[in-house]
Amino acid sequence: MCGIAGFLTENGRDLTKEHLLAMGEAIAHRGPDASGTYLDDTIGLCHRRLSILDLSEAGNQPMYSDDSNIVIVFNGEIYNFLELRESLISEGVSFRSSTDTEVIIRLYEKLGTQCLSLLNGMFAFALWDKRDNTLFIARDRLGKKPLYYYLENDTDSSGEVSRFAFASEIKALLALPDIKKELRLDAVHDFFAYQYIPDPKSIFQHVHKLPPAHFMLVKNNKIEIEEYWTLSFANKTTDSEKESIDKLRELIKQCTKRRMISDVPLGAFLSGGVDSSGVVATMAGLSETPIKTCTIAFDNKKYNEAQFAEAVAKQYNTEHHELMVHQNVADALENIVSYFDEPFADPSLVPTFFVSELARQEVTVTIAGDGGDEVFAGYEKYAVDDVENKLRAKFPEWMRTQLFPPLATFCNKVRVGPFKKAASLLTSLSVSPAMGFYITNSFITDREWQSLVNTKTNEALASYHPSSLTLDKYNEADASDHLGKILYTDMKTYLTGGILVKVDRMSMANSLEVRAPILDKEVIEFSATLQSDMKYRGKEKKYILKEAFKPYLSDDILYRKKMGFSVPLAQWFREEIKDIAERYLINDVKGLGEIFDISEVKRLWNEHQTDKGDHSTVLWSMLMFEMWWHRYMN
């Protein structure tokens, strides 16, 4: 795992090796073991290395082809690189290192951009081809590894690129001189709706994300972006249920085995949930020595899963490590949030940072159970959505569209918990299943947003609504049923923009590599061939995944109520983080004042502190936004 950055040299601006080094220093946490640069008259490339495979200098980057016409900086891991390497050797190709980076170079020499179809892994790379002055940038299928780029176009009608740079994180782009930091308002609305900013947007007007499963070619001051993979739900398997279960179990075993290849110490995150427990069990069956496992505990029993993690650790005789998160939160929060270069508000970023910090004390690589919920329908929201759709079918359309909205408005006026939930349900039932999925799972209602934003923001965003992201992905899916469409939507939005961003930033903040076997492309593509009732059956979520893990785990682990990697947020605002939150939200407000009516922000704060309402979700988003603003916009 590493950090990469680079730029195209510019007329009228002297970009030097020192600028490359500054970009690299900004993301040094991603690669503390080595650094390297390449600079010619056209391009500059920078690399920060976290050594995982081939720890010798032969693995340092930038890496070159034999004739030095190809230069690459690469972040990530290619899990099938050994098979690809052997295939190339059989064709007479020779190698100078044992790295997966060199495999990419050799494949590109043979296949050009088509090499991406053969790569199975997590990656973002930039490859400079001197032969035709083309910059080839690519990102893995799910966006496990980040890639941002800064773009300014000529003001004339040509639309040619006048300024271009790229990096693993925005902070490296900001290390360059004269970078424009213009706020993107629709991205702000997205952030409060989703708790993250979806690709290809960023919080800045001139900074963009290369979407997952896309590559970019930059040549002759023109940019082309193309999708090279998409997930199809159209073709369904004819295998029996038992055959599918056995196939999934074997797939996860093989994908886990691939991820256990490492020249540095390796361990696992263990929450005590189905996914991480199943992965640890699989690892234990593949390892001759005890697996090192790490977990986070809370003193609030409602959020504490440590006892379940401990039970699995004992069952598989792991070398188990546990950290209690309590007083650490307020002291560490500013540092933790600083690793996000744009607003991000999934509260589980806090325990993810701490478990990464704990793991890094023991290992350099850890394996996690990420993806099980999105790929196999494990979240409670899928059950809620199922109930809503069954209710939606019981009422005629005229009743849902004409009577439910005014009833929802009435319920909203009564600021009591049950009425608030009723308003949300009625609003969701009054619209289409796709829009209902957005409403149920967004983190701020239209009514809340309208009551909070100032007139300037409201007018600027009058024609925009964040639901367009959800609806676009839902309609893009080729699944024949609603569950398939919302799973596709979550894999294209929440997984890539939320879960994987959180894991990447918090692990890389601690120079830790995280690998996720359930998110292997083979597992995902297999899952898409299954009928929906193999994932969500009756009220049982992740049906087939639980069946696959049945030989390894007890029913107490498989069928207990899902807790998720959540935190006691409402309590934190009244206790652990009250002082720091009050400083940012009340006493030293800057960014929030650009978006919201501050008197309304204070109302939310006071109501929460006096226990007149739980506003912890929107307050947390506001806190994350304000902390980001202080660091990046002041």
The residues that are catalytic are 2
CB 270 within 8 A of CB 318: yes
Tokens in use for 634?
Answer: 């002041």
Distance between CA 20 and CA 3 in Å, rounded? Answer: 12
User: Count of alpha carbons within 13 Å of 627, Cβ hemisphere only?
Assistant: 24
Q: Give the burial string for 45-75 (b: 16+ CB within 10 Å, else e).
A: bbbbbbbbbbeeeebbbbbbbeeeebbbbbb
Three-class DSSP category at 119:
coil
Nearest to 582 by CA among 612, 610, 602: 602
Residue 182 vs residues 85, 156, 206, 453: alpha-carbon distances, Å = 45, 21, 7, 19
Distance between CA 148 and CA 135 in Å, rounded? Answer: 15
Rg for the chain (alpha carbons), in Å? 24
Q: What residues form DSSP beta bridges with 73?
A: 126
Residue matched to tokens 């990697």: 565
Residue 156 vs residues 159, 221, 222, 596: alpha-carbon distances, Å = 7, 13, 14, 36
Give Cα 560 to chain centroid, integer Å: 26
Residue matched to tokens 């995982």: 52
DSSP 283-324: HHHH-SSPPEEEEEEESSGGG--HHHHHHHHHHTT-EEEEEE
127, containing H or E segment: strand 121-129
Distance between CA 396 and CA 401 in Å, rounded? Answer: 9
The percent helix, strand, coil of the chain (3-state, each to 5) is: 50, 15, 35
Three-class DSSP category at 537:
strand
Q: What residues form DSSP beta bridges with 76?
A: 123
Residue matched to tokens 């960023």: 202
* Residue 611, phi-psi category: left (phi > 0), alpha (psi -120 to 50), beta (remainder): left
Tokens in use for 541?
Answer: 């979520």
* Residue 5, phi-psi category: left (phi > 0), alpha (psi -120 to 50), beta (remainder): beta
Q: Give the burial string for 82-99 (b: 16+ CB within 10 Å, else e).
A: eebbeebeeeeeeeebbb
Residue 318 phi/psi, 5-degree rounding, is -85, 160
